[in-house]
Amino acid sequence: MGGECVLSKTNMDEIVTYPQKVLKLLSQNKTFVSLLTNIPNANIEDADVETEWDFCTNDFNYVEGIIIGTKSFCCIDTEVDVVSDEIKEVIISILIGVHKSCMSLKGSGFTGIMGNRRDNLIREVDLSLRNARDFGIGKLSLVGRIQPINIDSKDFVCKLAEYKVTNFAKASDLRV
């Protein structure tokens, strides 16, 4: 018998909620959705686009399963650093990977966009997330540098962007 599961808030809810918030913000960026799914002028409300979106995105860093049939992927993960009894910092990692065969945007139907697909995806991540206020106390801010990352597959080129936000260390007693 199925029933509604009521979860109490915990001091680590961000590890569940933040990846979903990031994916929601990115899904509202039409250029990001189009480049990730390889569907020019993609509308996330279209069933085919949403299916491809679901296939290209993970709310955890698991690349192996996502690269089998896709040309681009986006994995989101979180780290929590409890700084004091009152404050914690949450790092949100966004890994973007693109198959080498579709890195170039020349002749791809994405007119007016210069550069390569991976770097434009990272650019759109930053456009969507920098200064977002839906996370913690204050705004999301880019941490350090955006850097190339090697994965086990030789066919994909990847970059990692990390954002940080401060939050209260203890959850309230509210129910979700």
Express each pLDDT in 28-53 by its tens digit.
Answer: 999 999 999 999 999 999 999 999 99
Confidence of residue 136 (pLDDT cuts 50, 70, 90): confident
Task: Find the domain containing 109 and state its range.
Answer: 14-168
pLDDT digits (tens, 9 = 90+) for 48-95: 999 999 989 988 776 665 556 668 999 999 999 988 888 999 999 999
Say if 97 falls within a structural domain. Answer: yes
Say if 81 falls within a structural domain. Answer: yes
pLDDT of residue 76: 94
Say if 6 falls within a structural domain. Answer: no
Say if 37 falls within a structural domain. Answer: yes
Which amino acid does the sequence have at 30? K
CATH number at residue 94: 3.30.2000
pLDDT of residue 8: 72
User: In this model, does residue 125 exceed pLDDT 60?
Assistant: yes
User: In this model, does residue 173 exceed pLDDT 60?
Assistant: no
Say if 104 falls within a structural domain. Answer: yes
How many of the other CB atoms lie within 10 Å of CB of 129? 24
Say if 2 falls within a structural domain. Answer: no
Place of tokens 């991976």: 118
Place of tokens 């880019």: 142
pLDDT of residue 70: 64
pLDDT of residue 176: 39
Which amino acid does the sequence have at 54? D
User: In this model, does residue 22 exceed pLDDT 90?
Assistant: yes
- pTM for the full model? 0.87
Name the residue with higher pLDDT: 120 or 175.
120
pLDDT of residue 65: 56
Say if 3 falls within a structural domain. Answer: no
| Number of domains comprising the chain | 1
Say if 34 falls within a structural domain. Answer: yes
Asked which of 50-59, 74-83, 114-123, 148-157 is least confident by mean pLDDT, the reply is: 148-157
Burial of 45: CB neighbours in 10 Å, binned 0-12, 13-18, 19+? exposed
pLDDT of residue 174: 39
User: In this model, does residue 12 exceed pLDDT 90?
Assistant: no
- Mean pLDDT for the chain? 86
